[in-house]
Amino acid sequence: MMIDIDLLLTWGATYKKVKCDEIIFQEGACANFYHQVVSGSVKWVSINEEGREFIQLMVEKGESFGELPLFDDGGYAATAIAEEDTVIIRLHKSNFLQLLKDNPDIHFAFTKLLAVRMRFKFLTIRELAYYSPEHRISTLLNYLKKNHKHTCPVCHQIKLTRQQIADMTGLRVETVIRAMRHLHDKGELHIDKGKVYAP
């Protein structure tokens, strides 16, 4: 979901630069802003007691993140961290909610975005609960390819590291490497010079 930057600026939005690995907001913190990536990328993660990350969402240029508490007044559901030097544009919550009221088409687009993200969460939970590492990885890669996320639209190269795939599937990176090699051997994905291609 991308709201036109000029429209956001009209409503009082401001730019913010964040460095690679900088925390934008932490899980549980009060939400005061709508955030949208202008350049760079952001990972939205849950972090356990041992400091291990589970990637809830990888956010690219033009995408928003951290919207849930803008609608339910709770805290942020996960921590947002810049994956690289990133520029975001942010709009205060009160202005964002008024913008939605005044623009029903944008409000409807957000409803659809939240439904898509909720469907992805259901898919992820099902995979984590029931299936083998190979199945989890295969389902994730197929989802990304189908939804044109983190995948080259021409050659279908996956633009995620093995560590990111591990963090999105709840697996260890060593398990991901072995499982992906097994999927390659079975012809369910292609690995060439370390690059991974979806089927």
Question: Per-residue b/e over 121-141, b at no fewer than 16 CB within 10 Å?
Answer: eeebeebeeeeebbebbbbbb
Model confidence pLDDT, tens digit, residues 28-68: 999 999 999 999 999 989 888 877 888 888 899 999 998 88
Model confidence pLDDT, tens digit, residues 78-122: 999 999 999 999 999 999 999 999 999 999 998 898 888 888 878
pTM to 2 decimal places: 0.73
Count of Cβ atoms closer than 10 Å to residue 177 Cβ: 15
